[in-house]
Structure 1
Amino acid sequence: RRPVTLVYFPINSLERPLELTKNYFRSRRDCLEYVAAMYNHYVAQRNMGAKDEANKAHSFYSNAIRTYEWMLKAGF
């Protein structure tokens, strides 16, 4: 396997949705924890009627799921 530099994307980075697709996680577990935290954030925002914040969180966890799928295919 060729070496790949993984950049940790912290769970509390709610304000950077577009960067998520350019950054990766230290492990699949990190990625799954991010998905779970962001999904919970999405549900909470949606239930409070905060539509913009809910939409942002939805895009974050959707991108993280795609990142997880990429990590599986790449063998991480």
Structure 2
Amino acid sequence: MQAAKRGFSGLDLNHDGVISRKEWSFMQARMVAPVPQNGRVQLMCATDQEFKLMDSNHDGKITFAEFTADNFGRDRQPIRGCY
């Protein structure tokens, strides 16, 4: 659980208890920067889909409960439609 808290805190840049779309986009930009140009669109699409799936109540924010309930994607089907 400590690892989940650290991961969540690292994404919750303003420490308001939720990960906003803006904060997620900032993380997305950091991830995309080292990726070769031809792979960036796929990565951005995948991380966008990840946000939508984790935001279970579709309010545009990810709470810690949503973050941990998602089980970090282990129980999900692969993301489709990005490639």
TM range (shorter): 0.3 to 0.5
Normalised to the residue count of structure 1, the TM-score between the two structures is 0.36
More strand by share: 2
More helix by share: 1
